């Protein structure tokens, strides 16, 4: 079943076409890699999917619902969550609070319920705390629940960001360079971690990554962007031997007279 | 987690009892001047804490608090004042019906003041909160000036620049301190709830907050409305305390005072705001002496009105330079801390004996 259908979206910033004619039909449970040289428009695609940018033309369907006109928070509520290329945690909030913010969209109690600590809210709050602690266990941060998120080392910040995204109970998770700045061992752990959460939370994942080991290791399908255009699509082997991709990454051999 | 399980009920009851007894004694036996200062302490605490919710916890820099106070003060004054006093006040342009015959008990007029102010907070906040940073500050500042000018010109409702005089004095320590405690309790619970986490996440990173499903507009307007509600009530209390209000009472100067309280106390710390709010009210009176004529080292200096504010400005600059986060930063006083202090002292005493 198709969970996300991106129907030829194009976005222009003034005279610059950042992404043109992007097409993607994503089936439930897939793990798709999105790669391309710097400035190819990968993050712009994420920003359009999550509603930060509105495409100039084309339509996006998520769960068979058109989401072009929806707000970012509404799209998140429909079940799409993301992480950011440069980690965007709530640095002055505790690790636990960061994850609990992700649970807030499911809160049913009204403001007054919450302020007067009525039983309905107390119940919900303890459920949220419980759920957030579970997610922290998932990323091995449960012992650091009280620390400020800004004080964590970089690798753990990335994991916390994933936990926070999971707290919104997404069906589709967009990961923007999760392995950036990690050493080879951490990267290896991250790969198994991504596969683990995909299995456990029944996620569909789109992954932007520069580390080819990650992409080739866990993605069954890969899309290659260059200057906003999709230049190749296929499985890892096909992509590695695609002349267009080699050209985009390595350039063309010079011909000497 | 262990700390959360204990709720220190005995300690809370004891504290409330002590405050209760203090108010009881103070209201009966302190002289009027001291009581007035204590009343102002309570009012500044309400104002500071409610502005801190908007500026410190939600991170939306608003300069419109004086406007909300003005609305609260006028709404309540028009409701609790007797028709006779109103008739005396409105001798140029008569007050419109039905305000000229209405008189309701003080408590209901306070609630009405808060509600009307919150309603205006919604009307103003809805369009303004799409702006960020400096732009929001400018627009909210503009709002409070508009309110002031509007009240100067709506003669048949507000009596214009003549203001309202001879208002009955209902404000006492029970009202000001009671409402101050309620305000602190309400806002503390709000910011510690799930809604509070959402507000703080907006302050930390709007883009990330929205991506996590926090409805930006709803939550910003929420904090604006709650802030406006309490500012309105504080304005009403102030009106009945000084017994005379005119539009220029609620100029930018008023907002500036509350901003000082919030910034010096620490954006994001209720404890800091409460301490500095109370200190501010006291210092405003104590420092009156610097405005009177004095002789320093044989030099005769004539009294300069406004010297107090100069001192406050210097204080503000010192705080901004040396305590970037304000006196308390985002730290909070807690029952647990008090409990430990008390228990610790007891142990020392036991060991000593």
**pLDDT digits 0-9 by tens, A180-201:** 888 888 899 999 999 999 999 9
Cβ-defined contact of A104 to B214 (cutoff 8 Å): yes
Q: Within an 8 Å CB–CB cutoff, is residue B88 touching chain A?
A: no
Cβ–Cβ gap A84/B208 under 8 Å:
yes
pLDDT at B215 over 80: yes
Q: Which of A76, A97, A124 sits opposite B211 (nearest CB)?
A: A76
Could you tell me if A185 and A200 lie in one domain?
yes
Final residue belonging to a domain, choices A167, A189, A217: A167
- Partners of residue B300 on adjacent β-strands: B295
Residue B14 has pLDDT above 60, yes or no: yes
Tell me the torsion sign for CA atoms B326, B330, B335, B336.
negative
- Supply the DSSP symbol for B292: S
Pair A147, A26 in one domain: no
- Is residue B195 situated within a structural domain? yes
pLDDT tens by residue, A49-88: 999 999 999 999 999 899 988 999 999 999 999 999 999 9
B198 touches chain A (CB under 8 A): yes
Give yes or no: residues A72 and A174 share one domain: yes
Domain boundary residue, one of A167, A185, A218: A167
Do A88 and B207 count as a contact with CB atoms less than 8 A apart? yes
Query: Considering only CA atoms, which of B183, B212, B163, B72 is closest in space to residue A174?
Result: B212
Confidence band of A174 (pLDDT split at 50, 70, 90)? very high
The answer to whether residue B322 is domain-embedded is: no
Same domain membership, residue A237 and residue A194 = yes
Q: Which domain holds residue B116?
A: 38-251
- Which run of H or E residues covers position A205? strand A204-208
Per-residue pLDDT for B342 more than 80? Answer: no
How many angstroms separate the CA atoms of A49 and A44, rounded? Answer: 9
Residue tagged 């994503």 (tokens): A26
B193 contacts chain A (CB < 8 A)? yes
* A92 touches B: beta carbon within 8 Å: yes
Give yes or no: residues A159 and A176 share one domain: no
**Residue A193 and residue A239 share a domain:** yes
Q: Does A123 touch chain B (CB under 8 A)?
A: no
pLDDT attached to residue B152: 92
Structure tokens at A243: 């002349």
Which residue, of A167, A196, A216, is where some domain finishes? Answer: A167
Determine contact: A93 vs chain B, CB below 8 A: yes
Cβ contact (<8 Å) for B213 and A76?
Answer: yes
Q: Is A170 on the interface with B (CB under 8 A)?
A: no
C-alpha distance from B224 to closest chain A C-alpha (Å): 14
Does B320 have pLDDT greater than 90? Answer: no
A85 belongs to a structural domain: no
**Residue B350 CB-half CA count within 13 A:** 6
Q: Number of helices and strands (H, E) in chain A?
A: 10, 10
Predicted confidence at residue A30, as pLDDT, reads 92
| pLDDT exceeds cutoff 60 at B5 | no
Domain span at residue A109 reads 91-167
Residues A118 and A227 both lie in one domain? no
pLDDT of B337 reads 77
Q: How many domains does chain B have?
A: 1
**Residues A120, A245: one domain?**
no
- Residue A86 domain flag: no
Average pLDDT, chain A: 91
Question: How distant, in Å, are the alpha carbons of A93, A158, B59, B194 from that of A150?
Answer: 8, 11, 18, 20
Q: How would you classify the pairing of strands A204-208 and A31-35?
A: parallel
CB pairs under 8 A between A and B: 96
- Segment B290-303 mean pLDDT: 76
Sign of the alpha-carbon torsion through B102, B108, B113, B119: negative
User: Given a cut of 90, is residue B339 above it in pLDDT?
Assistant: no
* B210/A contact by beta carbon, under 8 A: yes
Asked whether the predicted pLDDT for residue A151 surpasses 50, the reply is yes
Query: What is the nearest CA distance from A187 to chain B, expressed in angstroms?
Result: 24
Cβ distance B205 to A101 less than 8 Å, yes or no, reads: no
Closest CB to B193 among A50, A91, A115: A115
Cα–Cα separations (whole angstroms), residue A244 to A236, A247, B18, B268? 14, 5, 79, 54
**Residue B346: predicted pLDDT:** 58
- Whether residue B93 is contained in a domain is answered as yes
How far is B147 from B135, CA to CA, in rounded Å? 19
pLDDT classification of A249: cutoffs 50, 70, 90? confident
Per-residue pLDDT at B293 exceeds 80: no
């Amino acid at each position: 079943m198709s969970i996300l259908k991106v129907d030829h979206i194009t976005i222009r910033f003034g005279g610059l076409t950042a992404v043109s004619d992007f097409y993607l039909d994503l089936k439930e449970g897939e793990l798709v890699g999105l790669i391309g040289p710097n400035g190819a428009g990968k993050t712009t695609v994420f920003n359009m999917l999550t509603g930060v940018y509105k495409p100039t033309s084309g339509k996006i369907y998520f769960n068979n619902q058109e989401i072009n006109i929806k707000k970012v928070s509404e799209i998140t509520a429909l079940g799409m969550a993301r992480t950011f290329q440069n980690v965007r945690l709530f640095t002055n909030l505790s690790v636990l609070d960061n994850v609990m913010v992700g649970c807030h969209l499911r809160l049913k109690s009204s403001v007054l319920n919450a302020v007067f600590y009525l039983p309905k809210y107390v119940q919900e709050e303890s459920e949220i705390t419980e759920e957030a602690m579970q997610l922290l266990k998932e990323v091995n941060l449960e012992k650091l629940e009280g620390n400020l998120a800004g004080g964590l080392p970089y690798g753990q910040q990335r994991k916390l960001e994933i936990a926070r995204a999971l707290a919104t109970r997404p069906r589709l998770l967009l990961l923007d360079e999760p392995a950036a700045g990690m050493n080879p061992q951490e990267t290896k752990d991250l790969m198994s971690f991504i596969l683990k959460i995909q299995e456990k939370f029944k996620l569909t994942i789109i992954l932007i990554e520069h580390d080819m080991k990650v992409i080739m290791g866990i993605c069954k399908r890969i899309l290659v962007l260059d200057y906003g255009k999709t230049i190749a699509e296929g499985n890892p082997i096909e992509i590695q031997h695609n002349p267009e991709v080699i050209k985009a990454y390595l350039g063309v051999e010079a011909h000497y007279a | 987690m262990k700390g959360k399980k204990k709720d220190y009920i005995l300690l809370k009851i004891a504290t409330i009892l002590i405050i209760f007894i203090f108010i009881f004694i103070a209201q009966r036996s302190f002289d009027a001047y001291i009581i007035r200062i204590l009343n102002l302490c309570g009012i500044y605490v309400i104002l500071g804490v409610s502005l801190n919710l908007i500026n410190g916890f939600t991170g939306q820099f608003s300069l419109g608090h004086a406007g909300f106070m003005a609305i609260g003060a006028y709404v309540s004054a028009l409701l609790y004042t007797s028709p006779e006093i109103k008739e005396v006040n409105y001798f140029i342009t008569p007050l419109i019906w039905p305000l000229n015959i209405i008189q309701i008990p003080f408590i209901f007029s306070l609630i009405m003041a808060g509600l009307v102010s919150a309603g205006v907070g919604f009307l103003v906040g809805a369009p303004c909160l799409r702006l960020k940073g400096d732009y929001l500050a400018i627009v909210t500042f503009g709002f409070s000036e508009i309110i002031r000018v509007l009240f100067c010109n709506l003669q048949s409702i507000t009596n214009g620049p003549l203001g309202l005089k001879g208002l009955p004095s209902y404000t006492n320590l029970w009202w000001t301190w009671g409402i101050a405690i309620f305000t602190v309790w309400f806002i503390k619970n709000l910011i510690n709830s799930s809604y509070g986490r959402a507000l703080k996440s907006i302050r930390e990173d709007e883009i990330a907050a929205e991506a996590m499903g926090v409805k930006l507009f709803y939550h910003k307007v929420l904090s604006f409305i709650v802030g406006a509600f309490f500012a309105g009530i504080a304005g009403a209390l102030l009106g009945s305390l000084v017994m005379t209000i005119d539009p220029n009472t609620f100029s930018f100067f008023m907002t500036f005072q509350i901003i000082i309280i919030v910034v010096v106390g620490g954006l994001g710390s209720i404890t800091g705001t409460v301490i500095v709010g109370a200190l501010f009210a006291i210092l405003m009176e104590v420092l009156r002496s610097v405005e009177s004529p004095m002789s320093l080292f044989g030099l005769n200096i004539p009294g300069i009105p406004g010297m107090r504010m100069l001192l406050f400005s210097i204080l503000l600059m010192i705080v901004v330079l040396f305590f970037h986060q304000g006196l308390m930063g985002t730290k909070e006083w807690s029952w647990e801390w008090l409990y430990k202090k008390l228990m610790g002292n007891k142990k020392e005493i036991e060991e000593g004996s």
